[in-house]
Amino acid sequence: MYRHRRILPLLLALGPQVLAADLPTEWIDPDTGHRVIRLSREDGTQSLYFNQNAYTADGKKLIVTTAGGGIATINLATREVRPLVAGPVSVLVAGHKTGDVYYTKRAAGGRGSAASVVYATNVDTGVTREVVHLPPGRAVASLNADETLLLGTYVDGAAAPAPAANRLPGVDPRFGQPDYAAVGADGKPMTYADAKDLRLHNTLMATRAGAPRVLFTVNAKTGETKDIFREHEWLGHLQFSPTDPDVIMFCHEGTWHEVDRIWTIHADGAGLKKIHTRTMNMEIAGHEFFSSDGATIWYDLQTPRGQDFWLAGYKVATGKRTWYHLERNEWSVHFNVSPDGTLFAGDGGDSEMVARAPDGKWIYLFRPQRVPDVAGIKTANSEDLIDTGFFQSERLVNMSKHDYRLEPNVTFSPDMKWVVFRSNMLGPVHVYAVEIARSASR
């Protein structure tokens, strides 16, 4: 380990061509004083998307995907990596009740919009059970808290293909998302953020002009499907509450400044509610996620876009709002909250993204601070107003060598000792964890 600590700055300087043969497994970040460990062993291993539950019910294992599209587990105490499911599959979530890993796999011989099957595999025994067969053209993306319902979307009716210019580009396997390259009216290449918005806008317009999108549930025992909501919007970011099996959150995908993004609805289709209402031009909100107890919805809020930055919270039960302010360099592609709700993390961003941060390529830890009432005097309607605060930030990992087309997707380990993320900062993609406590041997 000591040898790796000494050679890490040299490896970072030399670049990815020499890294595959000697990637460090552990080091102290010289710029932050925090210990970083490489959890994965195989190049191309990735952690899950930031709002997917990636930890087993006992908190001992992390679910990751492998280079071949399969699934593996990493024991957080011993760092043992064990293959679990051969690929290619699509991971949904680790069940909150059983800890089994749920995933979909194309049915035998299936292609295109053919049927797929949902499976669940026990992380300790490896025993796999078939959950449900999905009808052709339907896909699921979330599982509720008691593992009785799956949630997905489909397009109702055969729609004419969108023009090529309006379709998203193919997914770049290096980054797990499309390469949003575009040229502006002046003939110059757009920034990554602007090119992405242009592509999203074109896809949104094609979606609104096409067949309706439908939100549906699937009974995990009987396979019964139920359509609960439909509209001519691009539906995505499907999430069940981690604690209430009846509460669903979804979004209107597209350019954030032209959609009302965040919505909740009950599993029976009742109680549709918009979570955030825009009050100024170019105000944006998105990348929403539930707190671990399901009590709060958190989301990235900018008032307006690219100028003033907040992490906003909405209490599901009462509608009470809390906004924490961030500086430009602290804005992050994704945020997350610790299991006990006392800490937040962010994965930073590069200078071409929406914040255009000159020095934003860091993994951050945030400690929330409330703006106090002056002299303890509250205004008469304070409970009806937004409760404001700010983040005291601490840099955990220098991500200057990371290509942000791969989103790091930070999560807290269940014991709240580590922030887990994926990165290509040393060349190949791997899963890392940074210790929240500063190392005494800096």
pLDDT band at 166 (very low <50, low <70, confident <90, very high): very low
Mean pLDDT across 167-193: 68
| pLDDT single digits (tens) 89-139 | 999 999 999 999 999 998 875 444 567 999 999 999 999 999 999 988 899
Reduce the DSSP state of residue 199 to 3 states and report it: helix
What pLDDT band is residue 191 in, cutting at 50, 70 and 90?
confident
Q: Which H/E stretch holds residue 155?
A: strand 149-155
Per-residue pLDDT band at 4 (split at 50, 70, 90) = very low
- Judged by average pLDDT, the poorest of 14-18, 48-52, 182-186, 315-319 is 14-18
Distance CA 291, CA 340 (A): 9
User: In the predicted model, is pLDDT for residue 257 greater than 60?
Assistant: yes
Which residues of 291-373 form beta strands (DSSP E)? Answer: 296-302, 309-315, 321-326, 335-337, 344-346, 362-370
pLDDT tier, 22 (very low <50, low <70, confident <90, very high otherwise): confident
Q: Which residues pair with 394 in a beta bridge?
A: 365
Mean pLDDT of 364-383: 93
CA distance 440 to 16: 30
Distances (CA, A) of 141 to 87, 200, 219, 334: 17, 20, 14, 19
DSSP element (H, E) containing 11? helix 2-14
Reply yes or no on whether the pLDDT at 442 is more than 70. Answer: no
Q: Write out the two tokens for 236.
A: 């995505």
Nearest Cα residue to 73 out of 104, 90, 48: 48
Confidence of residue 167 (pLDDT cuts 50, 70, 90): very low
The rounded mean pLDDT for the chain is: 90
pTM score, two decimals? Answer: 0.89
Distance in angstroms (rounded) separating the CA atoms of residues 39 and 434? 10
What does DSSP assign to residue 183? B
Is the model's pLDDT at 7 over the cut of 60?
no
CA distance 337 to 201: 30
For 51-77, what is the mean pLDDT? 96
> In degrees, to the nearest 5, what angle opens at C-alpha 51 toward C-alphas 47 and 54?
45
pLDDT in the model for residue 289: 98
Residue with the bigger pLDDT between 184 and 363: it is: 363
| Cα first-last separation, the chain | 13
